[in-house]
């Protein structure tokens, strides 16, 4: 069931999103060669807790950390580790949620560690722009398929592939709510977008094949062919005047 939010609830989510965005910014500053993914996770947890919020991911379904930190061919849900030290040339996807006063903000960004290859940079740039192509279609009266199709067309026109086993989602008082928000689809199909809906749009884009597999830890998800993967995400409110990104330091309307 899709839960429509009041203006007051969206304002509460905006505060959670501000914290989640700030934590992501601080995490990105720490992406340097030699830094462990656990060190970055510690930065994330301290930032969120110092803001009076709680990390949405910590303990969620048994997840053991405050951030998902996924390096190179890890698509999502990479578990931070003291043993995993970043190297120059890595691409590092960091996914963070913060919960404040019962509402969540959820966002992700893929960072370059040191000097990365032109191919890696092109993948990151395309994935980030695909997110914004999807957000542009997050307009009241459109349907979920309009968002997914916009992402898919942009990605596939550049010879990349969108992950199909994992999708975006509604977000609010729960970290994951209805509806599902795939990064592929048919225009005019799916749930109709209405003012008050709040959704996490999150393209996961592979340099190669779209197929993924989950490792034995039941979390870490990697590309089947070993190709690089990038991930970007914003929490977005559907309003009568257009989409509003809730996971930015300052409110932005597109």
pLDDT tens by residue, 152-201 = 999 999 999 999 999 999 999 999 999 999 999 999 999 999 999 999 99
- 251: pLDDT strictly greater than 90: no
- Give the three-state DSSP class for 93: strand
CA gap 164, 166 in Å, rounded: 6
7-247: which CATH topology? Creatine Amidinohydrolase (3.90.230)
> How far is residue 4's CA from residue 215's CA, in Å, rounded to a whole number?
36
Average pLDDT over residues 103-108: 98
Segment 25-43 shows an average pLDDT of: 98
Q: Which residues pair with 96 in a beta bridge?
A: 67, 107
pLDDT-derived band at 250 (thresholds 50, 70, 90) equals low
* The model's pTM: 0.96
Please report, for the chain, the start and end positions of each structural domain, with discontinuous segments joined by +. Answer: 7-247
- 82-97 tens-digit pLDDT: 999 999 999 999 999 9
């Amino acid at each position: 069931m899709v839960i429509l939010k009041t203006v007051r609830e969206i304002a509460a989510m905006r505060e959670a999103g501000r914290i989640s965005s700030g934590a992501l910014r601080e995490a990105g500053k720490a992406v340097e060669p030699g830094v462990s993914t656990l060190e970055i996770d510690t930065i994330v947890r301290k930032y969120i807790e110092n803001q009076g919020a709680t990390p949405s991911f910590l303990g969620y379904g048994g997840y053991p950390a405050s951030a998902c930190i996924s390096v190179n061919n890890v698509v999502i849900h990479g578990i931070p580790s003291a043993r995993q030290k970043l190297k120059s040339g890595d691409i590092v996807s960091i996914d963070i949620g913060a919960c404040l006063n019962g509402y969540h903000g959820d966002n992700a960004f893929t960072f370059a560690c040191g000097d990365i290859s032109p191919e890696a940079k092109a993948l990151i740039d395309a994935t980030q722009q695909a997110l914004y192509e999807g957000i542009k279609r997050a307009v009241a009266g459109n349907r979920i398929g309009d968002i997914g199709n916009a992402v898919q067309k942009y990605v596939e026109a550049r010879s990349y592939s969108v992950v199909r086993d994992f999708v975006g989602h509604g977000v609010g008082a729960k970290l994951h709510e209805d509806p599902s928000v795939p990064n592929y689809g048919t225009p005019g199909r799916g749930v109709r977008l209405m003012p008050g809906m709040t959704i996490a749009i999150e393209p996961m884009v592979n340099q190669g094949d779209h197929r993924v597999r989950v490792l034995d830890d039941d979390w870490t998800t990697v590309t089947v062919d070993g190709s690089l993967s990038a991930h970007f995400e914003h929490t977005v409110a559907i309003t009568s005047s257009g989409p509003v990104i809730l996971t930015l330091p300052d409110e932005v309307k597109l």
